[in-house]
Every structure is written in C-alpha cells, then in structure tokens.
Amino acid sequence: MTLKQALSQAKRVLAANNIEDASLEGELLLRHVLKISRVQLYLDLDQELTSQQETDFWDTISRRLSGEPTAYITGHREFYGLDFYINSNALIPRPESELLVEKVLHLAQHHSISTIADVGTGCGAIAISLALNLPQVKIYATDISAPALEVAAMNCQRHRVAQRIQLLPGDMLEPLPEPVDLIVTNLPYVKYSELHPSADFEPVLALNGGSDGLEKIRQLCRQVSNKLHPEGYLLLEMGQGQSEAVTTLLHSLFPQAEIEVTPDLSGIDRVVSLTLTSGR
C-alpha cells in the first residue's frame, strides 16, 4: 500500500465513522507513524508502506475510531502557531481559546501590563503563547492538577520560557503570591450533562463546569477582588449561551467595571473582558 492509498482509505474510514476533518486527521496520524513532515509526506505519496508501518497506521486509526483524540495519539497539538506536547493529563487546547491570547496582546499594546495570571493553565498553551509575545511580562500559571502542571513544565522547557513562567499548584487564584494586572482564564464551562464522549479521554476536571456549566466561573469571579490590581483586567472564556449569565454575575460583583463581550469566528459570544475601575 502506498502513502497515497493509505491516506485515501483512512479518509473514507474516518468519514464513515463521523470523524470531522477526516482527511486532515488521517494525514496527521500517518505522519505520526512515519515521523515525517507534511512536505515529506506529499513528496513521497507513491512510497510503499512496510508491513509494520501499515500495521502501526491502522492501529492508530482504530484508536481514533474508539474516540481517542488525535492530539493524544500523536502527543502534539498546534495552538497560536506553536507546537505543544500534550497527553491525557491536560485538556487539548482549542482554536477558539486563541481569541483569549489575541485579546490579551491587544490590551498589552495599549496599556501597561507587567504581571499576568493564567488560571487553569493545563498544558500551558495560553501562558506560553503570551510569554513568547510579551517578553517583559511576568506570568503566573496556576492549575489544581499536578499532572497537568507537569505537561505545562515540559512545554515551558520546549519553548524556552521556563524562567519567565511561574507554575503554581492550587485552586484558581489561591496560589497567586501577589495581585496581578491581568487575569486570563479558560475554566471548565461544559454542563456535566453535556460532556462530550471525548471526556472519556480528556480530564473531566478540566471540562466539568457543574450542573449549569458556570460553577467554576462563579468561584473564580468571587476571588478576583483580592488578586487583581485596581484598574486591572479579567479575560474569561465561556460557552455558547452563557454570555448573559456571566455578564450579569460580573455586573453584580463589580458594578463600576467596564464589561465587553467578544464573539469568536463562528459568531458565538466567547470572551468576556472586564476592566476594573479604581473604586471597583
């Protein structure tokens, strides 16, 4: 079987099993097995797979069909143009979370920001993306999961920002040693009853937002006053249909604050930005 034939068959099998982006997923899995780049793959489409390579490839396809995410099979996920190591101890970073990074970078262009806290950092994708783009900023990254912080530490080393990101074990904002200028977070916001089958592989702790999806968001918002400087910023990712509840909560806690909602590329309200005033 040639590489071209393997890609074609994989696409058919994955698509028949309702795997989105079947062509891309098949390509990623084949490249993983062969340990080659995308350019190498398409330069050698007529190359024959060895019997062992063919066996390994269909083993990975079977794992994907069982529901295991491709990122966990390959150990890689791209986020904000960067390659991150990933395993089942940390949530797979989603493209929509890149909006958080863009919003923080925009704020940093127009305001003085010297300290940032990334709460629930997981594999460290947001904190590391910010560290690489904001070299003068001190970044704290917290997570309640020690295994997730181990993944984040590996990624900090990989991207050479380990000296600039302080990884802190603990719940929400509690581990922060000082108030910061900006808090950015992608907390669990999926209703427990709506957890996707991929939650069988991804850490439920990083997905489960409780009965209404807002349990962790409410918990964090109540901690913000003591951990954010006057005139500081909070950027919070949320799920579809949660915008009104989240903004109402923030208005009740910070009646003088400025609050803005930003939709993602699909038009879903995705990020809530809060700017404190001196009087809070």
- pLDDT band for position 127 (cuts 50, 70, 90): very high
Q: What does the pLDDT read at residue 233?
A: 96
In this predicted structure, the answer to whether residue 106 has a pLDDT above a threshold of 70 is yes
Average pLDDT over residues 50-73: 95
3-66 under CATH 1.10.8, yes or no: yes
Domain with CATH 3.40.50.150 in the chain: 89-275
Q: What does the pLDDT read at residue 280?
A: 44
Q: What homologous superfamily is domain 89-275 in, according to CATH? A: Vaccinia Virus protein VP39 (3.40.50.150)
For the stretch 195-230, pLDDT in tens is: 665 557 877 776 666 667 788 888 898 899 889 999
Could you tell me what percent of the chain has a pLDDT over 70? 92
For the stretch 143-153, pLDDT in tens is: 999 999 999 99
Q: In 73-83, which positions are buried (b, 16+ CB within 10 angstroms) versus exposed (e)?
A: bbeebebbeee
Q: What does the pLDDT read at residue 277?
A: 76
Contacts 24+ apart (CB under 8 A), 222-228: 222/253, 223/172, 223/173, 223/174, 224/173, 224/183, 224/253, 224/254, 225/253, 225/280, 226/173, 226/179, 227/117, 227/173, 227/176, 227/179, 227/180, 227/183, 228/179, 228/180, 228/181, 228/182, 228/183, 228/276
Higher pLDDT, 41 or 210: 41
Q: What does the pLDDT read at residue 188?
A: 73
Domain with CATH 1.10.8 in the chain: 3-66
**CB distance 231 to 278 below 8 Å:** yes
Q: What does the pLDDT read at residue 50?
A: 95
